[in-house]
Amino acid sequence: MHLRGRLVHRITHDDVGRRVSLRITLPEGGFTDIVGVVESWAEGVLTLRRRDDSMVEVAEHDIAASRVVPPVPPRRRDRRP
């Protein structure tokens, strides 16, 4: 028996400025995930800033699932002498 997880869209406009994970539907079928900070959300389009500082726009109707995720942890300092 194969159970599939349920896709839940949990973010709102109140999450602008927070780090989120989005699962979006691809035009050719299937899904891909994008993680980033929501910089803006206007007229059905979210703009996310990724970890590498690149920006990506996602149409709200392409979001299959979403959730707020913790901020990126600070880099650990190298403790070698």
Q: Which residue has the tokens 């994970």?
A: 21
pLDDT per residue as tens digits for the range 17-51: 999 999 999 999 999 999 999 999 999 999 999 99
Higher-confidence residue: 66 or 2?
Answer: 66
pLDDT band at 7 (very low <50, low <70, confident <90, very high): confident
Residue 7 burial (CB count, 10 A): 12
**Rounded to an integer, what distance in angstroms lies between the CA atom of residue 62 and that of residue 22?**
10
Provide the whole-model pTM.
Answer: 0.81
Q: Which of these ranges, 27-36, 41-50, 54-63, 67-76, has the smallest mean pLDDT?
A: 67-76
Asked whether 50 and 36 are in contact (CB, 8 A), the reply is yes
